[in-house]
Amino acid sequence: MKCTSCGNIESKVIDSRSSADNTAIRRRRECLSCGFRFSTYETIELLNMYVIKKSGERDIYKKEKLLSGIKIALEKRPVKEDEVKKVILAIEQEIQTEGQSGEIKSRAIGEIVMKHLKGLDEVAYIRFASVYRSFKDLETFKKELAKLIEK
């Protein structure tokens, strides 16, 4: 691990702890050069997962695309960074479970994201749904809002 203070690549682990939901490990490290202490997190990574698009084209799963869509939906919303990290981790775990064959349809990913955003922030859910479901007009938007209000 590269020290964030001096750039040295040698450090030692001082302490390791599991996160509250046991989905990540937090490691406290100390730089062997300057003594600076910093934390790193170890999480599960989705490997060799392919996304099947509407066109049938296969694309390698990219966490950056997931993060981008969620960040846009959550822009200027009062959601804490820790909550966002937990939701992203839960989404990725569900993607991993759904895509045990090594591939998952983009439609399934969208539905998983919407399910988790609905529980996190309703405005973010509507924002994401409006793009994901390609709302054509105000009436479609109103119908989705009505469903949300009913629940």
| Percent of the chain residues topping a pLDDT of 90 | 51
**Looking at the DSSP assignment, which residues form a beta bridge with residue 105?**
52
User: Under a CB-based contact definition with an 8 Å cutoff, are residues 77 and 121 in contact?
Assistant: yes
What is the CB neighbour count within 10 angstroms for residue 104? 22
User: Under a CB-based contact definition with an 8 Å cutoff, are residues 19 and 25 in contact?
Assistant: yes
**Looking at the DSSP assignment, which residues form a beta bridge with residue 17?**
26
The pLDDT value recorded for residue 42 is: 86
Instruction: Write out the two tokens for 71.
Output: 């960040």
> Is residue 71's pLDDT more than 80?
yes
What's the N-to-C CA distance of the chain in angstroms? 47
> Is residue 44's pLDDT more than 80?
no
The pLDDT value recorded for residue 56 is: 92
Nearest to 25 by CA among 39, 46, 4, 10: 39
Query: pLDDT tens digit string along 117-148?
Result: 999 998 998 889 888 777 777 888 788 788 87
Summary mean pLDDT of the chain:
88
- With a CB cutoff of 8 Å and minimum separation 6, the contacts of 132 are 110, 113, 114
The pLDDT value recorded for residue 34 is: 96
d(CA 5, CA 62): 29
Average pLDDT over residues 76-103: 88
d(CA 61, CA 63): 7
Query: pLDDT tens digit string along 46-69?
Result: 667 899 998 999 999 988 999 999
d(CA 118, CA 129): 10
> Is residue 26's pLDDT more than 80?
yes
The pLDDT value recorded for residue 47 is: 63
The pLDDT value recorded for residue 133 is: 77
Q: Provide the residue ranges of all domains of the chain, joining segments of one domain with +.
A: 11-43, 50-150
| Percent of the chain residues topping a pLDDT of 70 | 97
> Is residue 10's pLDDT more than 90?
yes
Query: Helix or strand or coil: residue 93?
Result: helix
